[in-house]
């Protein structure tokens, strides 16, 4: 049975932007999550973006996403993270909670 998408999103909430201290899901950096049944394992593919194309934390965020998903357990097969810049990220993608934390009313 594939890993539930909700489980993937819960794990992704553990990854925080090192400058904003808000998780990548609430920041709106996660565009798409696909979980594919690969026999006894689940392959996970994540499309994510950065707040800017030259984000200095980009490589670390990508690695953190890979690490947290691989840590979901033995049922995880491959983990792929694709960084996309289209559509570009805007603050509109943030949750209300994230906006509140940053004082964006």
List the domain boundaries for the chain.
5-101
- Class of 5-101 in CATH: alpha beta
**104: confidence class by pLDDT, cuts 50, 70, 90:** confident
> pTM higher than 0.85, yes or no?
yes
pLDDT tens, 4-32?
999 999 999 999 999 999 999 999 999 99
Give the C-alpha distances (Å, rounded to integers) separating 25 from 1, 29, 34, 49, 75.
24, 6, 15, 11, 22
**β-pair partners for 48:** 30, 83
Burial class (CB in 10 A: 0-12, 13-18, 19+), 1: exposed
Do you find a cis peptide bond into 36, omega within 30 degrees of 0?
no
Average pLDDT over residues 76-80: 97
The pLDDT, as a whole number, for residue 2 is 78
């Amino acid at each position: 049975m594939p890993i539930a998408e909700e489980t993937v999103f819960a794990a992704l909430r553990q990854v925080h932007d090192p400058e904003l201290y808000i998780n990548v899901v609430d920041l709106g950096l996660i565009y798409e999550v696909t979980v594919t049944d690969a026999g006894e394992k689940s392959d996970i593919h994540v499309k994510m973006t950065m707040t800017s194309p030259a984000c200095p934390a980009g490589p670390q965020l990508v690695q953190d996403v890979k690490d947290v998903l691989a840590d979901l357990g033995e049922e995880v097969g491959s983990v792929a993270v694709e960084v996309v810049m289209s559509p570009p990220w805007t603050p509109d993608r943030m949750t209300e909670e994230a906006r509140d934390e940053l004082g964006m009313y």
